[in-house]
Amino acid sequence: MQLEKPAEVLLLGPGPSPVHKRVLEAMGQHTLGHLDPDFLSIMNSTMELLRYVFETKNQITFPVSGTGSAGMEAALVNMVEPGDKVVIGVNGVFGRRMVDVASRCGAEVVEVEAEWGHPVDADELGKTLAAHTGVKLVGIVHAETSTGVQQPLEPVVELMREHDALLLVDAVTSLGGLPVAVDRRDLDIVYSGNQKCLSAPPGLAPITFGERAMQKFQQRKGKVQSWYFDLSFLTRYWGAERFYHHTAPINMIYGLFQALEMIKEEGLEERFARHCLNSGALVAGLKALGVEPVVEDQYRLPSLITIWIPDKIDDTEVRSRLRREHLIEIGGGLGPFKGKAWRIGLMGNGSQRENVEKLLRALSDILNQLGHRCSIKEALSETMPLYQQHE
C-alpha cells in the first residue's frame, strides 16, 4: 500500500511553514553515507550558510538532529549543571518550557514573568539579577510563538554583561525572518528550528555557541546529562575530526542546505523587508475586517501574528472551515489565549502577497457567513498602498 498523496494545504499557522519545491526536490536526492566525502562537503556548506543566516563567525554552528525543542534541550544540558542559578523570562509557552528543561538539568531556576502578549521587562530582569548573585545563564525567547511577541534583546544583553551571565536566546520563530544578528548583538547561545522562517520541514534545530559559552562548557565539573546532545561529541562529528557520533538525517540536511541557499540568494535584508511588508499588509487588512491584533505594533512579530477572535465567532468552526473549504491552516490560541485568539504565520516561503490576499478573502467569506459583517473590498484596499510603495 502506498502513501496517499497529502492535500496541498497552505500552511499559515505557527509552523510548519510552506516548503519550496526546490527544498523538497533536494530531499528526494539519493541518500549518501553519513561519512561519505560528498556528504561531508554538504555538511561544511550547511554550517557556513547557517553562519550567514545567524550573522555570526562562531565556529560551533551546526544543526542539531531534532526539532526546535531539541535545540532548546541541547543548549541547556550543555550549559547547565546541577545547582547552577538560571534566570528565565516567561511570557508564553516556550519560556515556560525553558523553565521545565532547565529544572530537569538540576538548575535553581528563577522566573521573571510577563503578561501574555507583552515582552519580558528588562528592568525586572535587572532587579532579579541584582537580587540573585552568581547567575550563570539567562534564557529569553526572542520570538514567542504562543503570543506573537518580539522580545527586544539589546537591553537584555547589557544586563548580561553587567552581571557576567550567559545569554541563551530562543530564535525558533525569528531566524531567517527577522534579524537575530548573533555577533552584532553579542549573543552567547542561540537555537532555532527548520520549520519556521527557514521553510524546511521540521526535524533539525540550528544552533550556535559563542566563545564565552564554549569557555563555560570547558569548565564543567561533570558529564553532560545527555549523551545524544553532548557538545564534546557533536563538535567532533561536525568539526574537522568527523568522529562518528550518530547517523545524521542525511536527506533532512540536503533540505536545510537548499533552504539556506535560497535565503542567501534572496539576501537577508530583502528577506527581512519582505516579512515586514506582508505582515503589515495582513494586519491592515485584518483591521479593515474588524479583527484586531493582540500585540502592539513595536513588539509584534512580522513572522507570526496573533489576532483576537471577533465576538460570537467560534474558534474551531472558523479554523475547520478554512481547512475544509479553502485548504488554509491557521493556528488556535494556547494557554490563556485558547479560544480567544488565532495565530497566523507568515514565515519564510509562506510570507507572500498572494497568501495574504488569499487568507483575507477566505476569512472574510467565513466571517460574513457567521454574522460578522465585513468587506473584503475594504480589506484589500487597505493593503494596496503598502504594496504600491514597494513596487
pLDDT in tens, 108-159: 999 999 999 999 999 999 999 999 999 999 999 999 999 999 999 999 999 9
Residue 145, pLDDT score: 97
Q: What's the rounded mean pLDDT across residues 341-370?
A: 98
Residue 70: inside a domain, yes or no?
yes
Q: What's the rounded mean pLDDT across residues 152-172?
A: 95
List Cβ<8 Å contacts ≥24 apart for 366-371: 366/318, 366/321, 366/322, 366/325, 367/289, 367/291, 367/310, 367/313, 367/318, 370/313, 370/314, 370/317, 370/318, 371/312
Q: What is the CA radius of gyration of the chain?
A: 21
Q: Which residue has the cell 562562531?
A: 58
Are residues 109 and 93 located together in one domain of the fold?
A: yes
Is pTM beyond 0.85 here?
Answer: yes
Residue 73, pLDDT score: 98
Domain ranges, residue 338? 267-389
Stated as kind and residue range, the H or E segment containing 285 is helix 268-288
Residue 1: inside a domain, yes or no?
no
346-356: string of b/e by CB count within 10 Å (b at 16+)?
bbbbbbebebb
What CATH number did the domain enclosing 119 receive? Answer: 3.40.640.10
Q: What's the rounded mean pLDDT across residues 315-330?
A: 98
pLDDT tier at 242, thresholds 50, 70, 90? confident
Are residues 179 and 117 located together in one domain of the fold?
A: yes
Are residues 42 and 189 located together in one domain of the fold?
A: yes
Domain boundary among 239, 265, 291: 265
Q: What's the rounded mean pLDDT across residues 198-210?
A: 98
Percentage of the chain beyond pLDDT 70 is: 100
DSSP SS3 for 312: coil
Average pLDDT of the chain is 96
pLDDT at 391 over 80: no
Are residues 333 and 271 located together in one domain of the fold?
A: yes
Residue 378: inside a domain, yes or no?
yes
Residue 193, pLDDT score: 97
Measured between alpha carbons, how far is 358 from 61 in angstroms, rounded to an integer? Answer: 37
Domain boundary among 265, 286, 318: 265
Count structural domains, the chain. Answer: 2
Are residues 234 and 378 located together in one domain of the fold?
A: no
Residue 340: inside a domain, yes or no?
yes
Q: Using an 8 Å Cβ cutoff, are 213 and 79 in contact? A: yes
